[in-house]
């Protein structure tokens, strides 16, 4: 899929140093539409949507956000911890709004899968269907997310 001029501008904002130190693309050479389309195909094979995944991620963040004792066990099998850092980030898609800086780590003790995500990850998945590029620091593989979250 060909990258539009808007996609190209977004890709520049996703590069290391533009918004975050490590950026959102990693070593992925595919266009943004190609990255998103490949993840959408994977989601379809898993019978899940980006919206479902983002909603589940938000559920765990919300449930763990107010605990000051570190980790919390949710639904008896999910060990979750959310750390909030001072400040906000702008979405690389430049549609306005600020995303709070936070990191959540979840371990599903039933499946043994651990995933870590940021508030920006939730936003990018929910609003843009973007799980980040291959090799990115916070790239989230849809299959791993499904194994961890559901």
Between CA 111 and CA 119 the distance in angstroms is 23
Residue tagged 């499946």 (tokens) = 111
Q: How far apart are the two ends of the chain, measured CA to CA in Å?
A: 31
Q: What is the pLDDT at residue 67? A: 77
Q: What percent of the chain has pLDDT over 90?
A: 89
pLDDT at 57 over 80: yes
Residue 94: band (very low, low, confident or very high) from pLDDT cuts 50, 70, 90: confident
pLDDT at 68 over 80: no
Query: Tens digit of pLDDT for each residue in 108-134?
Result: 999 999 999 999 999 999 999 999 999
CA angle (2, 129, 24) in 5-degree steps: 75
């Amino acid at each position: 899929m060909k990258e539009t001029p808007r996609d190209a501008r977004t890709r520049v904002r996703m590069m290391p140093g533009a918004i975050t130190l490590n950026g959102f693309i990693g070593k992925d050479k595919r266009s943004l539409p190609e990255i998103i389309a490949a993840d959408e195909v994977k989601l379809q094979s898993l019978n899940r949507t980006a919206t479902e995944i983002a909603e589940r991620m938000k559920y765990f963040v919300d449930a763990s956000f107010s605990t000051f004792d570190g980790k919390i066990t949710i639904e008896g099998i999910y060990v979750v911890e959310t750390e909030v850092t001072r400040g906000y980030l702008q979405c690389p898609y430049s549609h306005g709004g600020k995303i709070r800086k936070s990191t959540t780590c979840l371990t599903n003790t039933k499946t043994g899968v651990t995933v870590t995500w940021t508030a920006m990850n939730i936003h990018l998945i929910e609003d843009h269907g973007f799980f980040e590029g291959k090799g990115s620091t916070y790239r989230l593989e849809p299959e791993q997310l499904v194994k961890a979250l559901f």
